[in-house]
């Protein structure tokens, strides 16, 4: 289990336990949760519809300048929604190398 980082002494605990650094959960790489498979995009088939980006619960796709969508292994949990919803079957789930 990834230890929660920044276990500070009580005096350094932020007021009321409020987390000041919005979005700092990005530090936690949920990509470690993949164990079986991960998606791979065949850009020949991709028509830039963006469904992979729209339907990803973990926002593991980012829009590239060329209009294609880039997969980010740091956060993808390997659920397979993108592969299933890609209208052109451009995304296949491939085995995670163990």
Partner 1 sequence: MITNEPKDFKRFTPKTLPQEEIIVSGHRACQGCGEVLALRLVGKAIGTPMIVVSATGCMEIISSPYPQTAWAVPWLHVAFENAAAVASGVEAGLKTLMAKGRIPRRKIAVVAFAGDGGTADIGLQSLSGAMERGHDFVYVCLDNEAYMNTGIQRSSSTPYGAMTTTSPAGKVIGGQTTWKKNLAAIMAAHNIPYVATASPAYHLDLMNKAKKAAMIKGPAYLHVYSPCPTGWRHGTDLAIEVSRLVVETNIFPLYEVIDGKYVVRKNTKPKPVEEYLKIQRRFSHLTPEMIQTIQKRVDEEYEKLLKLEVATQGLEGREGPKEEAAKKD
Partner 2 sequence: MIEVRFHGRGGQGAVTSTDLMAQAIIEEGRYAQAFPLFGPERRGAPVLAFMRAGEEPIRIRSKVYHPDVVVVLDPTLLPIVEVTSGLKPEGLLIINTHKTVEEVRNILGYSGRLALVDASRIAMEEMKVPITNTTMLGALIRATGLAQMASMDRPLEKRFGKIAERNKRAMQRAYGETVIEE
Partner 3 sequence: MSVRKGMEVSIAVAEAVKLAKVDVIAAYPITPQTHIVEHLSELVADGELEAAFIPVESEHSALSAVVGAAAVGARSYTATASQGLALMHEIMFIASSLRLPMVMTVVNRALSAPINIWNDLSDIMAERDTGWIQLFAVNGQEAVDLTLQAFKIAEDPRVLLPVVVNLDGFILSHVIESVELPDQEAVDRFLPVFQPTLRLDPDRPVSMGAFGSPDVFMEVKKQVEEALIGSQEVVAEVWRDFEKAFGRSYQAVERYKTQGAETLLVTMGSISETAMTAVDGMREKGQKVGLIHIRLWRPFPFREFFQAIEGAKVLAVVDRALSPGGPGGPVGLEIKSALFDRRERPYVADFVTGLGGRDLTEEIFEEIATKAEQYARSGEAMRYEMIGVREE
Site for partner 1 (CB under 8 A): which residue of 38, 41, 69, 79? 79
Q: Which is nearer to partner 2, 1 or 18 (CB)?
A: 1
Q: How many CB atoms lie within 10 A of CB 82?
A: 23
**CA distances in angstroms from 87 to 41, 62, 70, listed in the order given:** 12, 18, 17
Q: Which is nearer to partner 1, 16 or 44 (CB)?
A: 16
Residue 88 per-residue DSSP state: T
Q: What is the three-state SS of 37-86?
A: EEEEECCCCCCCCCHHHHCCCCCCEEECCCCCEEECCCCCCCCCHHHHHC
Question: Looking only at residues 21 through 40 of this chain, which bind partner 3 when binding is defined by CB under 8 A?
Answer: 22
Least distance CB 3 / partner 3 (angstroms): 8
Give the per-residue contact string, 67-86, with partner 2 (x = CB under 8 A; - = no): ----------xx--------
Contacting positions for partner 1 (CB under 8 A): 4-6, 8, 14, 17, 19, 21-30, 33, 49-50, 54-60, 63, 72, 74-75, 77-81, 83-85, 93
């Amino acid at each position: 289990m990834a230890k929660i980082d920044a276990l500070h002494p009580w005096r350094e605990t932020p007021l009321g336990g409020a987390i000041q650094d919005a979005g700092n959960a990005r530090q936690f790489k949920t990509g470690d949760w993949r164990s079986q498979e991960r998606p791979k995009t065949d850009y020949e088939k991709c028509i830039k519809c963006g469904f992979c980006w729209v339907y990803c619960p973990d926002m593991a796709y980012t829009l590239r300048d060329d209009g294609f969508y880039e997969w980010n292994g740091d956060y993808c949990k390997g659920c397979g929604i993108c592969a299933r919803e890609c209208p052109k079957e451009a995304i296949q789930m491939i085995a995670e190398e163990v």
